[in-house]
Amino acid sequence: MPKIPRDLVKSLIKLGLLESEAKLYITLTMINTSEVKKLINFLGLSKPNTYESLRLLEEKGLVVLINNRPMTYQAIPPEVGLDILLETYLNAKKQAEKLFSTLDQEKFKEKSKTLWYVLSEKGIEHKIKDMLKNARQSIFMASPPKYLKYIKKLNERDIKLELIVYSDTKDTEENLEKILEGKEGDFSIITPDKMINGFAAERNDKEELKTAYKEAFYEFGLEDLMLLVVDDSEMLYVMPMSENSSTAINTKNKALITLSKIGFRDILSQQR
């Protein structure tokens, strides 16, 4: 019997199946029907685990019991089974969103004292999309060109845009015009050297410390450094922490948002 692809097992686990369920479903799709005894021998699962997993798969609508003696199961075709899993997944998401929205109304819930949240690299893209999706009045973004793709996907809402792009490539201005076609706002491009000089100039350290500060900026790189402020009520600050990862700070603290936005804008405007 063909070997079960590990990546396929992982994909089904992400869609909500247990590992044993995923392996059983994949096996049944390969051989169409099978007695439980053969499945146990092939997969090396325990008898209780196999029977319970098959029961859960049947409950989910992914397999059908076609014979009781001996117990024999048949798989629903993957093109149908995946749709079933996706629908279950999306319904669970909607239910969770509904329940999360009621938590703020619980009497025992205290007002959050958290000043900011730290997001890992995987959560950054989702947060950017979420903030832009929910923007109603204004968007301020200072970033390299790599983040402009999210702005391109904005619909035709009447939102004030202020973009500061740091780039030294010749095609940035042309690409920016295409991305922002039909959108109104304040757009400008600044070279990375001038941006770093702007940050270094704000420091009152001795010249050698300013130089070290600039070198540190170059060492980290600018391909991920970004500030996003939506409606002056939520901020995302993405910082490159290493060559292969990024970390972001997300906050709704008005003082931090105001200081970061004004400070970032003033520093860059001095170098334009």
Say if residues 143 and 226 touch (Cβ distance below 8 Å): yes
Which pLDDT score, from 0 to 100, does residue 183 have?
72
More confident position, 225 or 14: 14
Task: Determine how many CB atoms are found less than 10 A away from the CB of residue 223.
Answer: 15
The domain in which residue 224 lies consists of: 117-269
Q: What is the pLDDT of residues 43-61, one digit of tens each?
A: 999 999 999 999 999 999 9
Please provide residue 140's backbone torsions phi and psi, each rounded to the nearest 5 degrees.
-115, 125
The answer to whether residues 123 and 210 belong to one domain is yes
The answer to whether residues 137 and 238 belong to one domain is yes
Nearest Cα residue to 140 out of 56, 39, 264, 242: 264
| pLDDT at 121 > cutoff 80 | no
Q: What is the pLDDT of residues 220-271, one digit of tens each?
A: 666 668 899 999 999 998 876 555 567 888 888 888 898 888 877 676 665 5
The answer to whether residues 75 and 150 belong to one domain is no
Mean pLDDT, the chain, as a whole number? 82
Give the global pTM: 0.61
Sequence-ordered alpha helix ranges (H) in the chain: 6-14, 19-31, 36-43, 47-60, 78-103, 121-133, 148-152, 172-179, 192-201, 207-220, 254-269
Is 108 part of any domain? no
The answer to whether residues 74 and 123 belong to one domain is no
**Residue 133 sits in a domain of what CATH number?**
3.30.870.10
Distance from the first to the final alpha carbon of the chain:
66
For helices 192-201 and 207-220, the axis angle rounded to 10 degrees is: 140
Average pLDDT over residues 170-175: 81
More confident position, 3 or 215: 3
